[in-house]
Amino acid sequence: MSQYPSVVMALLPILCFPDPRLHQVAQPVAAVDDRVRAIVADMFETMYDAKGIGLAATQVDVHERIVVIDVSEERDEPLVLVNPEITWSSPETRVGEEGCLSVPGIYDGVERSLAVRVRAQDADGVERTIEAEGLLAVCIQHELDHLQGKVFVEYLSPLKRGRIKTKLLKQHKAQQAERA
């Protein structure tokens, strides 16, 4: 990201469901400093490389309340949320198809509020309030779930969740066998 020219960015490994680390609750960030900005830069590089629109720190095994999002077509509207809290959700909801970088290749319907208001710090530590609707609102809710240790498949029936877990474990074993 051009905002952080002195930061050397790195791709981070993304945890995949059913990794138990995805269920860890993220801790608040004490201060937005160079360490946090380096994590943010790495998260953006990882998210863009994986063709995602959002990434929570929990997904890259950093258990702090940090989220990066970019829902723009051009991938040029990065949004950083540090210590985000949803302060309002619309009572109107909609079921929409969701996917997740931690649950590769799986998409299913999840009910979410149509609009949200979130308070968070940006990459400079400045507190902001963001009103979001549509895809951005869905993405914010999805990523904040990760910070609470919740993966979107937990909204699905136990039967569907079990099938997804079995499928991803088989894929993981096949990938490990290929590397051996």
Annotated active-site residue in 133, 143, 154, 178: 143
Name the strand (E) or helix (H) holding 39.
Answer: helix 34-49
Tokens of 48: 């863009």
pLDDT of residue 6: 42
Q: What pLDDT does residue 8 have?
A: 56
Residue 42 corresponds to which tokens in the numbers above? Answer: 């790495």
Spans of the chain below 50 pLDDT = 1-7
Any known ligand binding at 172? no
Tell me if residue 127 is catalytic.
no
pLDDT value for 74: 95
Domain spans of the chain, in order of start: 20-179
What was the pLDDT predicted at 172?
A: 85
Nearest to 55 by CA among 111, 14, 110: 14
Q: Is 23 annotated as a binding residue?
A: no
Q: What is the pLDDT of residue 110?
A: 97
pLDDT at 179: 84
Looking at the domain 20-179, which fold is it? Peptide Deformylase (3.90.45)
pTM score, two decimals?
0.92
- What is the predicted pLDDT for the residue at 7? 47
Cβ within 8 Å of residue 149, ≥6 positions away: 22, 23, 24, 25, 26, 58
Residue 63 in marked binding region: no
The amino acid occupying position 82 is V
